[in-house]
Amino acid sequence: MSATETVRAPVFDRQGEPTDDVRVEKAMQAFVKDFGLVAALNMEACVHCGMCAEACHFFEATGEPRYTPIWKIEPFKKAYKREYGPFAPVYRMFNLKSKVNARELENWQELLFDSCSLCGRCSLICPMGIDIEGLIQQARHGMAAAGLVPQEIRAAAERQSEAGMFPAAQLARLAAERGVAIPVDRERAAVLCTLSQSELDDYPDSVVAMAKVMNHLGADWTYRSDGYESSNYGMLAGDLALQKEASLKLIQAAIACGAQSLVLPECGHGYSALRWMGADLFGKPLPFHVLHISEFLAAEVQGGRLTLNKIGKSATFHDPCQVSRLGGAIEAPRVVLDALGVELREMFPTKGTNWCCGGGGGVQDIGRAQPLRHKVFHMKMKQIDETEAELPVTSCTGCRRTFEEGSAHFKWGKSMNSLLELVADNLGEAA
C-alpha cells in the first residue's frame, strides 16, 4: 500500500507562496534536523505489530487504517530512510524510497494535525517503546517549516506572538465584579500564576477560582504582565521558534519576581510545554517548580493547609492526556476529589490509559475536523455514561471546550465541571 493510495481528497491549508520544491526542501531540512539518535532508534524499531492502531481513538472511532498512529509519520520515516538512515545511500541509489513530494506533505496535514490530539496513548502501548506521539510532534516541525499547518493553529500561534498585550482591564473588571483581589505585577512573589487569554474570555470563573483559592490560602502570589499566557500554540503548530518565545516569557517572568513556583491553570498542553520542554528550551534547569493547578491543590490538601467542604455526590474524573498520561499527575486530582468528599467512579479505561476527549493537540481549533472530533467524542460520552456518576470533572479548559461542543452536538445534557472551580466553590475554614 503506497502513501498515495491511502489518501483522499486533499484537505489542507498553506502559508506563503513558495514553490513545491521549496516547501519540500524546507520540510526535509527540518525533518533531518530532528533525526537525532532517539528518533532514529524509534523509527528503526517498529515491528509492524499494529497494536498502536487500537490505542488511537481516531482509529477506534472510525476503523480507518489511515488513522493508524505509525502511518501518520510515514513521510517522516520515508525522509529518514532516504536522507539519513544507515542505508540512505542505497535507498537513494536504487530509489527504494521515493523522495517525499509536496502532494504527500499536503495530504499528510490531516493525519498530523486533524487526526492526532498528541494524546500519547500510542506511545504508551507500543511494545517496542516507540514514542510515536513524540515523532508526530517532530514531524509537525517539518510541516511548519514547509508552511503546511492548519490555518487556525498557525493564526493562533502568530496571534500569541504578536499580541503580547496583558489583559489588565479585563482582569480588573473581573476582580471588581466578583469582589476578588487579583494582584498583578508584584515585584516579588513566591508563586507566579498564569492564565490563558481564551480561558479568560470563555471561562472567567476559572480565573476567579484561581484568585479565590490563592487568596484563601494567603499565598504570596501574582500575575505578571511580562509573562502570563499559559497556552503555547507555537508548540501545537510545530514552530519551535514561537514555542520557545512563549516559554521564555513565562520563565523570565518567574525569575524576575523570584518565584519559587509557577502555577499553570487548567491548561493541558501548556503544562507539557513548560513542565517537560521548558528547561530544554531555556538551556538549563528551571530555578523554580512548575506545577499544574491540580498538583498545587493536592500539595495544599496533603500539607493540611487546604480543607474543603464535602460535596456528597458521585463524580468521575476525565484525565487530560497532557497532564495525566504524559505529565504523570494522575493522583493529584484524585487527592483533591477525595478532599471534596465525592464518591469517585472511575471510567474504564482510566488514569494513564484514559481515552482522550478528541480535542487536544490543537484538534479542537480546526474547524474542518469537527465531524471527526464528534466521532471520537461519542466514545468519551459512552465511557462517562457507563459510570452513572453525577458530576463529570476535569482539569483542562481545552477538554471542557471539546466536551461543550460534543455535548451540544449530541444533545447529551451533561456538562464538564472544572476541578479548580469545584474547589473554589467549596473552600473550608482557612487554616
Site membership for ligand SF4, residue 48 (CB under 6 A) = yes
Site membership for ligand SF4, residue 141 (CB under 6 A) = no
Phi, psi of 316 (to 5 degrees): -130, 145
From 9-17, 128-136, 209-217, 342-350, give the range in contact with ligand SF4 by CB under 6 A: 128-136
Cβ proximity to ligand SF4: between 12 and 58 the closer is 58
Site membership for ligand SF4, residue 61 (CB under 6 A) = no
Site membership for ligand SF4, residue 269 (CB under 6 A) = no
Do residues 46 and 128 make contact, with C-beta atoms less than 8 angstroms apart? Answer: yes
Site membership for ligand SF4, residue 119 (CB under 6 A) = yes
- Adjacent-strand bridge partners of 315: 344, 391
Site membership for ligand SF4, residue 52 (CB under 6 A) = yes
Q: What is the DSSP letter of 218?
A: T
End-to-end CA, the chain: 64
Q: Return the SS3 of 46.
A: coil
H or E stretch including 6? Answer: helix 3-6
- CA-CA distance, 431 to 421, in Å (whole number)? 20
Site membership for ligand SF4, residue 235 (CB under 6 A) = no
From 86-94, 132-140, 147-155, 394-402, give the range in contact with ligand SF4 by CB under 6 A: 132-140
Q: At what angle do helices 151-163 and 240-256 cross, to 10 degrees?
A: 30
Site membership for ligand SF4, residue 73 (CB under 6 A) = no
- CA-CA distance, 317 to 333, in Å (whole number)? 8
Cβ proximity to ligand SF4: between 66 and 121 the closer is 121
From 95-103, 131-139, 146-154, 193-201, give the range in contact with ligand SF4 by CB under 6 A: 131-139
Site membership for ligand SF4, residue 379 (CB under 6 A) = no
Site membership for ligand SF4, residue 40 (CB under 6 A) = no
Site membership for ligand SF4, residue 77 (CB under 6 A) = no
Quick count: other Cβ atoms within 10 Å of Cβ 277?
17
Do residues 315 and 393 make contact, with C-beta atoms less than 8 angstroms apart? Answer: yes
Cβ proximity to ligand SF4: between 197 and 232 the closer is 232
- CA-CA distance, 246 to 254, in Å (whole number)? 13
Site membership for ligand SF4, residue 41 (CB under 6 A) = no
- Of 39, 102, 116, 329, the one binding ligand SF4 (CB under 6 A) is 116
Grid cell listed for 191: 508563586
Site membership for ligand SF4, residue 139 (CB under 6 A) = no
Buried/exposed code over 388-415 (b: 16+ C-beta within 10 A; e: otherwise): ebbbbbbbbbbbbbbbbbbbeeeeeebe
Do residues 130 and 123 make contact, with C-beta atoms less than 8 angstroms apart? Answer: yes
Considering only residues 170 to 199 of the shown chain, the ones binding ligand SF4 according to CB under 6 A are none
- Of 28, 34, 39, 58, the one binding ligand SF4 (CB under 6 A) is 58
Cβ proximity to ligand SF4: between 74 and 266 the closer is 74
* Strand order from edge to edge, sheet including 391-394: 343-344, 314-318, 391-394, 417-418
Q: In the complex, what is the shortest distance from the CB of residue 361 to ligand SF4, in angstroms, rounded to a whole number?
A: 7
- Of 72, 140, 212, 400, the one binding ligand SF4 (CB under 6 A) is 72
Cβ proximity to ligand SF4: between 118 and 189 the closer is 118
Site membership for ligand SF4, residue 74 (CB under 6 A) = no
Total residues interacting with ligand SF4, rule: CB under 6 A: 26
Site membership for ligand SF4, residue 223 (CB under 6 A) = no
- CA-CA distance, 271 to 353, in Å (whole number)? 19
- Of 27, 66, 69, 83, the one binding ligand SF4 (CB under 6 A) is 69
Do residues 426 and 393 make contact, with C-beta atoms less than 8 angstroms apart? Answer: no
Phi, psi of 236 (to 5 degrees): -70, -30
From 86-94, 115-123, 174-182, 286-294, give the range in contact with ligand SF4 by CB under 6 A: 115-123
Site membership for ligand SF4, residue 126 (CB under 6 A) = yes
Site membership for ligand SF4, residue 12 (CB under 6 A) = no
- CA-CA distance, 61 to 67, in Å (whole number)? 10
Site membership for ligand SF4, residue 373 (CB under 6 A) = no
- Of 28, 39, 55, 182, the one binding ligand SF4 (CB under 6 A) is 55
Q: Are strands 417-418 and 343-344 parallel, antiparallel or unpaired?
A: unpaired
- Got the DSSP string for 167-215? -HHHHHHHHHHHT----B--SS-SEEE-B-HHHHHH-HHHHHHHHHHHH
Site membership for ligand SF4, residue 112 (CB under 6 A) = no
Phi, psi of 34 (to 5 degrees): -85, -10
Cβ proximity to ligand SF4: between 53 and 254 the closer is 53
Q: Which residues bind to ligand SF4, rule: CB under 6 A?
A: 46-52, 55-56, 58, 69-70, 72, 116-122, 126, 128, 130, 132-133, 136
